[in-house]
Amino acid sequence: MIDPIKKDATQRMLKCLDALKTAFSKLRTGRANAGLLDHVLVDYYGSDVPLSQVASVVVEDARTIAISPWEKQMTGPIEKAILKSDLGLTPNTAGQSIRIILPPLTEERRKDLVKVVKNETEGARVAIRGARRDAMQAVKDLLKSKQISENDEKRAEADIQKLTDLHIAKAEELMAVKEKELMSM
């Protein structure tokens, strides 16, 4: 009775952490990261597809990302897609190869990004607590319908709270790692 509720809550909390990791991967740090371009969509013969499906994306060094389109005619659309993205990056094209050189972040921009990281983490915390609330309500509904005892309810609520605390701690850990990454040169 209670195990499916706990399992569902755990899955929802893990999805919240995955969404947080995805949001963090889109934040540009001073270092080049191929994941930075994961959400860039390229117009490929009338349909939008992820950049990784039309070109290989490779990190050349700490500040350079190299993009090699698989088809010659895709160089222009890839360039346009990168310029159109919210990353604020300028691609440099040399023949069929595209290079993106990441400029170093200013101290002010780093602090702004740390604020964004904290806001994203708070959003994840709220979502995790929402999953807890739903699980607690499901347990209360089982108690009302007399499918479980009060002792079972108390135990289940304690277990759900432990799950919540664990996932919020993981979100905090992710935030600390990303903050450290942003503030280091």
Lookup result for tokens 């740090």 = 29
Tell how strand 41-44 and strand 47-50 pair up.
antiparallel
Distance of CA 118 to CAs 33, 74, 103, Å?
Answer: 21, 37, 23
Report how far residue 14's alpha carbon sits from residue 124's, in angstroms, rounded to the nearest whole number: 10
Q: Which residues sit opposite 55 in a β-bridge?
A: 69
Query: What predicted TM-score, i.e. pTM, was given to this entire model?
Result: 0.70
Which residues, in sequence order, are bridge partners of residue 101? 64
Q: What is the pLDDT of residues 11-60, one digit of tens each?
A: 999 999 999 988 887 776 667 777 778 788 898 888 888 888 889 888 88
Instruction: Identify the pLDDT of residue 182.
Output: 81
Do 25 and 38 meet the contact criterion of CB atoms below 8 Å apart? yes
| 3-state helix, strand and coil shares in percent for the chain, rounded to the nearest 5 | 65, 15, 20
Q: Which residue has the higher pLDDT, 90 or 10?
A: 10
pLDDT of residue 82: 86
Is the model's pLDDT at 185 over the cut of 60?
A: no
Report all structural domains of the chain as residue ranges with CATH numbers, in order of start. 3-25+106-183 (1.10.132.20), 31-101 (3.30.1360.40)
For the chain, what is the mean pLDDT? Answer: 87
The predicted-structure confidence for 127-176, as pLDDT tens digits, reads as follows: 999 999 999 999 999 989 989 888 999 999 999 999 999 999 999 999 99
Query: pLDDT tens for residues 84-97?
Result: 877 777 888 888 88
**Over 70: is that where the pLDDT of 61 sits?**
yes
Q: Which of 86, 89, 85, 51 is nearest to 70 (CA)?
A: 51
Q: What is the mean pLDDT of residues 68-88?
A: 85
Q: Which residues contact 122 (CB under 8 A, 6 or more apart)?
A: none
pLDDT, position 144: 92
How far is the C-alpha of 24 from the C-alpha of 116, rounded, in Å? 9
* Res 74: pLDDT: 87
Q: Dump pLDDT digits (tens) for 94-124.
A: 888 899 888 777 788 788 888 888 999 999 9
